[in-house]
Amino acid sequence: MSTGSLFLLAPRINETGLQLLTAARRRGLRAHTARSWQVPEELAGLRPAHLYGGPLFADAVARELGIAALDAPADWLTALPRELTRRRVECTTLALARQVRRPAFFKPPVDKFFPARIHPDGSRLPGPDALDDDTLVLVSDVVTFRQEYRLFVLDGAVRTASRYATDGDLDVRPLAEDPLRREVEAFAAEVLAVCAEGLPSAVVVDIGLLADGRWAVVEANPAWASGGYGCDPEHVLDVVLRAAGPDTAVLDRDRPHLRDLPAVVR
């Protein structure tokens, strides 16, 4: 990443975006908030470029800016050993998920095609008139997380972390101030020792403490679309810049994790 690189943020910027905007400008990046869901004309030719925003924003601008966006594998959770997930998780199609006849947690793996939540069965998921039958869905056994933590991971190591929820409610605290810090760090190290090679080099991993006192992985998400909560913005920026940066600088290990970007017609 060179001084003067473009860092483009999605419209309707959130608190994390504001923090990253400030951090990026301190580093000498040309950090801008887009006015709409497209690249501003005056910035269209700037290279190299990076972005921060949701999947819709990445799909709208990344290809035009020559940005490679790294996604966590859709089926990543399903490949983890049960001692790390503490629950059954499967990645299936929406058509098959609608046939599930037990209480479960249903979630799109990356794109938020519908709200992630617990349903008594799959019959209440969006129908074929709303979403294609082959849309991927994660179906998970229902568990109760008492505390949940966000880890920004770069090259297999946690760069910064924060608590973000207690008993399902927003409860933000930097990890350095959390009484469970050592337990979080220990479980994070265990998780990354097992599965770092199956993730992109820059990614977000969420973990949590279950009601029964055991630790479990919650999910993995693209760093370029994830809130920072109480994480250090400078370290969040380090991860985001790698997670959505020039397509000419993609690491070989990250090529399987490149987001399939659509061609946008203006």
Helical segments of the chain, H only: 15-26, 55-61, 76-79, 82-85, 94-97, 181-195, 233-243
* Residues 168-215 pLDDT 10s: 999 999 999 999 999 999 999 999 999 888 999 999 999 999 999 999
Regarding pTM above 0.85, the answer is: yes
The pLDDT value recorded for residue 265 is 59
In the DSSP assignment, the letter for residue 8 is: E
- C-alpha 201/C-alpha 172 separation (Å) is 25
Nearest to 236 by CA among 11, 23, 3: 23
Q: Does 2 score more than 60 pLDDT?
A: no
| DSSP one-letter string for 89-129 | EEEEEHHHHTT--S-EEEE-SSS-SS--EEESSGGGS--TT
The mean pLDDT of the chain is 94
The domain ranges of the chain are: 6-71+244-257, 88-140, 143-230
What's the number of CA atoms in the CB half-sphere (13 Å) around residue 146? 8
Pair 163, 173: CB distance under 8 Å: yes
> What does CATH list as the number for 143-230?
3.30.470.20
The yes-or-no verdict on residue 1 having pLDDT over 60 is: no
Residue pLDDT, tens place only, 208-264? 999 999 999 999 999 999 999 999 999 999 999 999 999 999 999 999 999 999 877
Collapsed DSSP state (helix, strand, coil) of residue 225: helix
Reduced to 3 states, what is the DSSP secondary structure of residue 179?
coil
